Amino acid sequence: MKKPLYVAAIALAVAVGAGVYLNTGVAAAPASTFVLLDGSRKSTDDLKGKVTLVNFWATSCVTCVGEMPKVIATYDKYKSQGYDTLAVAMSYDPPSYVVNFAETRKLPFKVAIDNTGAVAKAWGGVELTPTTYVVNKRGQIVKRYVGEPDFAELHKLIEKLLAEA
């Protein structure tokens, strides 16, 4: 008799937790350290105070390369209003390719290389690229996109988050 009650209690706890998550739509961004192309480091805490797009990508990902001009345009459109972008290259992406891509495309935002895969793992086990997270000013993930985002929808969300105190 104890086992069914135990299973039911766990199921209820999971359901309540999922309901809270789905209803609030936010979860704290995982504690991570991003190693930038210039060798400097940025932490998840550094994201607080701005609305930030965290984009996991790879130079070998056709969709990632295809969406990058839209990611740049979004950054350019909102950067003066408290918006930032952090592009995180996957661990399997050769660093020289990432540096070359960032330089030749003149990426205007910070680019990190996740050499060990620890950042992708911390952010929910990211394996598919592009995977993009929108983080609010409080450092909470409010949206996750797998594949290219609907940029019109993304812009509405960014504008809403920028307007929040």
Which domains, from first to last, does the chain contain?
27-163 (3.40.30.10)
What are the residues facing 131 on neighbouring strands?
56, 146
**Average pLDDT rounded to a whole number, residues 105-109:** 97
The pLDDT of residue 147 is above 70: yes
What pLDDT is attached to residue 117? 97
Q: In this prediction, what percent of the chain has a pLDDT beyond 90?
A: 84
What are the residues facing 87 on neighbouring strands?
55, 111
The pLDDT of residue 9 is above 80: no
pTM of the model: 0.84
Q: Cα separations (Å) of 22 from 124, 131, 133?
A: 16, 19, 16
The pLDDT of residue 23 is above 60: no
The pLDDT of residue 6 is above 60: no
User: What average pLDDT does the structure give for the chain?
Assistant: 89
The token pair that represents 9 in the structure block: 């209690």
pLDDT level of residue 11 (50, 70, 90 thresholds) = very low
pLDDT tens profile 46-88: 999 999 999 999 999 999 999 999 999 999 999 999 999 999 9
Q: Cα separations (Å) of 90 from 37, 43, 103, 115, 157?
A: 13, 17, 17, 7, 26
Centroid of chain to Cα 164: 19
